[in-house]
Amino acid sequence: MRFSANLGFLFTDRPLPEAIRAAAEAGFAAVECHFPYECAAAEVCAALEETGLPMLGLNTSPGDRAAGDFGLAAVPGREEEARAAIRQAVDYAQAIGAGAVHVMAGCTDGGAEAEAVFRANLAYACDLAAPLGQMILIEPINHRDVPGYHLSSSSAAAAVIAALGRDNLRMMFDCYHLQIMEGDLLRRFARYQSIIGHVQIAGVPDRGAPDRGEVDYGWLLPQMVDLGWPLPFGAEYRPGDAGTEATLGWLAQFGAV
């Protein structure tokens, strides 16, 4: 079983290239990130080449977080900003060899106009990324952490994917978010496995390390592997004040170190 370190939450006390090196030293098989744009792509590439780790994916810019933005792709009236963020993400992903771009929907009233904007921007993203061999991901995010996030259920994500009919559009199956919103994770995973592009894990409800809380990953993840899941699981959890290294004992539980 293999794991990817999400460097948006892990090893954040150091620059991104050093975080990549730390993830390799800790025993991770891959890395992923949130918003790497302030770091020169050449520096990221050098660290990836040195460690041999693949960069699985990154996020589009969330917009103005101080003003309440958490993505732009479904926000009516901000289509130009959303598409600029998509182009930025696709270009950066190409530069560092990342295989996927998570297009962040943002917070909306959940209405038909927002959904139409979301689908149009996703079609744009898919068409831009397809010639580069990139996957576009959409992620249901829970309303406890992000009230009003436009996409909050696996069924809604599946409906978008079916409606757009793009081969490179997939769901990010974040066990933390989906446990809070829906639960029944294994059956939900099995139902949607054919359209899932990445799986992420964290403890529930505190988003700590995946060795605590109400989800038994020691049982769940082997079941997903038995269903045929071949890719690394993304560790996207908050390590707390003790720092990332102090939380990594769970890797040994899965034979990852």
Q: Which residues form the catalytic set?
A: 139, 236
Give the closest residue to 148 by CA, choosing from 85, 200, 81, 74.
74
Q: How far apart are CA 16 and CA 223, in angstroms?
A: 33
Half-sphere exposure of 12 (CA within 13 A, CB side): 17
Identify whether the C-beta of residue 176 lies closer than 8 Å to the C-beta of residue 208.
no
| Residue 19: Cβ within 10 Å count | 24
Identify whether the C-beta of residue 61 lies closer than 8 Å to the C-beta of residue 37.
yes
Q: How far apart are CA 93 and CA 196, in angstroms?
A: 19
